[in-house]
């Protein structure tokens, strides 16, 4: 048997992901040693409650509540506690003492990424975070390494499993948001407090991480435009289907070029995706990230975006990378923010829209609506009218489904305001962006 140098791995957290990481590390130790070129000794596991039940049977003597003592003397610290504090302090302590850090903590990286990466740079250590965006799906390493020689143009990601599960069931069953959410909570797909998922906060954190990597630019979380899915109704889903679309919560990270000047846009919102697009066939709680690069063209990364053992796979891949770096020596590869592109606010972004209006079914209504759109600088591509009165009598209401050409968000929202204020429009039913055409 090959004799390897021994590296001490400190695990912080033994919850859904941490317990699986510990289990796999102990079970596949010999194999991992061959791959890493180092023996990976699980030095200990820091938790809050020593008596809490664990998903995997683990030796009791490994557990401690003294995270600081465990970190000191570790070669690799695996942070799987989640949240900001004490995860941030422990991560900085680990880096300060020369350890490499592996983390799945999107909240920490999206809010304190620059501080963490600077601390790593100061000592030449590395931070690995493959599991922080889209769980088991390899997307960080492809963006950081495989596409390092290319220029990413756009990323469109389904990066939140809970919302994809909800929208997918609404689409396949015609069910209402509240009913599917309640069911998702019962089945464990959604948290008791679903805010982080359904309001798009979780997806926004992942969007910030992906955009930073793809565009070599620090992307503060506050610059990510965010909308959730709570306003999506069964009606909107049905209308989308009739028009050949499916509604998905997308994280869109885009490189924009205006008269030779580059900028980026990072945004999260529910959007209409053509049924023929690869992202339209991402069902259930799965995630997918669709990357368009100048030379490589379109690339699709698909799989489990969460789950304890699935996420543990990505974490252990990072542990092996960290071990290889330790053995090879030299300084870690820092985060690149050299491009430092300006981040444009949502008002300046252009997309196609589908606007659904309830209007009075009277002569001249279409002309009034068309006039307001044209005054607002929004050019119409398609109009579909459905009349609510089946006998064809006037005086009832009709639905207008208007597809626009690309329009700037600012112009569009001002136009929607004037449509809403118009006498002929009874209700603005929905305004959705179209992505992926
Ligand atoms: P979890 O089930 O809530 O487990 C958290 C663990 O951290 C628990 O073992 C807890 O100890 C420990 N912990 C929390 N605060 C602590 C403190 N102050 N001191 C010591 N230990 C502490 O979390 P998880 O689902 O495994 O997620 C871990 C990380 O992975 C998070 O950053 C999450 O965003 C990320 N992630 C999770 C998934 C997923 O599918 N779950 C997917 C991708 C990324 P006790 O057990 O004693 O309470």
Phi and psi, residue 193, nearest 5°: -105, 100
- Binding site membership of 48 for ligand 1 (Cβ less than 6 Å): yes
Cα-to-centroid distance, 83 and ligand 1 (Å): 8
Do the strands 100-103 and 127-128 form a parallel or antiparallel pair, or are they unpaired?
parallel
Cα-to-centroid distance, 113 and ligand 1 (Å): 19
pLDDT at 388: 63
Name the residue of 12, 17, 22, 108 to mutate for ligand 1: max ligand atoms within 8 A of Cβ. Answer: 17
Phi and psi, residue 227, nearest 5°: -135, 145
Task: Please state the domain extents for the chain.
Answer: 5-136+309-328, 140-305, 349-434
- Binding site membership of 82 for ligand 1 (Cβ less than 6 Å): yes
Q: Whose CA is nearest to atom 34 of ligand 1?
A: 105
- In this structure, the number of other CB atoms found within 10 A of the CB of residue 295 comes to 8
Cα-to-centroid distance, 12 and ligand 1 (Å): 8
Which residue in the list 90, 169, 206, 225 is annotated as catalytic? 206
Cα-to-centroid distance, 252 and ligand 1 (Å): 27
CATH topology of domain 5-136+309-328: Rossmann fold (3.40.50)
pLDDT at 244: 94
Q: Among 241, 294, 213, which residue's Cα sits nearest to residue 432?
A: 241
Domains 140-305 and 349-434 share a fold: no
Contact between 349 and 409 (Cβ < 8 Å): yes
pLDDT at 229: 98
Q: Is 248 part of the annotated catalytic residue set?
A: no
Mean pLDDT by 10 residues, the chain (437 residues): 91 98 97 97 98 97 98 97 98 96 97 95 94 96 96 98 98 96 94 97 98 96 98 96 96 96 98 98 97 98 96 98 92 81 96 96 92 96 78 74 96 96 95 96
Nearest ligand 1 atom to the CA of 47 is 21
pLDDT at 361: 87
Query: Domain 140-305: which CATH class?
Result: alpha beta
CATH of domain 349-434: 3.30.70.260
């Amino acid at each position: 048997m090959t004799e390897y140098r021994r590296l001490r791995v400190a695990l912080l957290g033994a919850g859904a992901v941490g317990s699986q990481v510990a289990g796999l590390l102990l079970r596949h130790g010999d194999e991992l040693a061959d791959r890493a070129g180092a023996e990976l000794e699980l030095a200990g596991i820091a938790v809050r409650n020593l008596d809490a039940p664990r998903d995997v049977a683990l030796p009791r003597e490994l557990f401690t509540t003294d995270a600081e003592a465990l970190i000191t003397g570790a070669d690799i610290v695996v942070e799987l506690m989640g949240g900001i504090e004490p995860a941030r302090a422990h991560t900085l302590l680990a880096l300060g003492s020369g350890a490499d850090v592996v983390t799945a903590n999107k909240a920490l990286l999206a809010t304190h990424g620059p501080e963490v990466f600077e601390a790593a740079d100061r000592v030449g250590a590395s931070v690995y975070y493959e599991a922080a965006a889209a769980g088991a799906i390899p997307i960080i390493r492809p963006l950081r390494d495989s596409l390092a020689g290319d220029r990413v143009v756009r990323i469109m990601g389904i990066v939140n499993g809970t919302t994809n599960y909800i929208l997918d069931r609404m689409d396949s069953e015609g069910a209402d948001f509240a009913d599917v959410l309640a069911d998702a909570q019962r089945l464990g797909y959604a948290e008791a407090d679903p805010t982080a998922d359904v309001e798009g906060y979780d997806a926004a954190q992942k969007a910030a991480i992906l955009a930073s990597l793809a565009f070599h630019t620090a992307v503060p979380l506050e610059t990510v435009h965010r909308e959730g899915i709570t306003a999506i109704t069964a009606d909107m889903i049905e209308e989308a289907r009739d028009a050949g679309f499916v509604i998905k919560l997308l994280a869109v990270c885009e490189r924009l070029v205006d008269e030779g000047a580059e900028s980026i846009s990072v945004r999260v919102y529910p959007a209409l995706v053509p049924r023929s697009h690869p992202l339209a066939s991402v069902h259930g709680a799965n995630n997918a990230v669709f990357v368009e690069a100048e030379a490589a063209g379109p690339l699709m990364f698909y799989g489990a975006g969460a789950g304890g053992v699935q996420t543990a796979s990505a974490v252990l891949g990072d542990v092996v990378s960290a071990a290889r770096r330790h053995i090879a020596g030299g300084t870690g590869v820092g985060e690149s923010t050299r491009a430092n592109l300006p981040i444009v606010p949502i008002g300046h972004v252009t997309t196609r829209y589908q606007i659904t209006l309830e209007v009075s079914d009277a002569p001249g209504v279409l002309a009034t609506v068309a006039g307001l759109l044209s005054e607002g600088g929004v050019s119409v591509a398609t109009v579909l009218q459905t009349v609510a009165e089946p006998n064809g009598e006037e005086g009832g209401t009709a639905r207008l489904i208007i597809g626009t050409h690309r329009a700037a968000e600012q112009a569009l929202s001002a136009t929607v305001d004037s449509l809403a204020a118009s006498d002929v429009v009874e209700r603005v039913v929905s305004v959705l962006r179209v992505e992926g055409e």
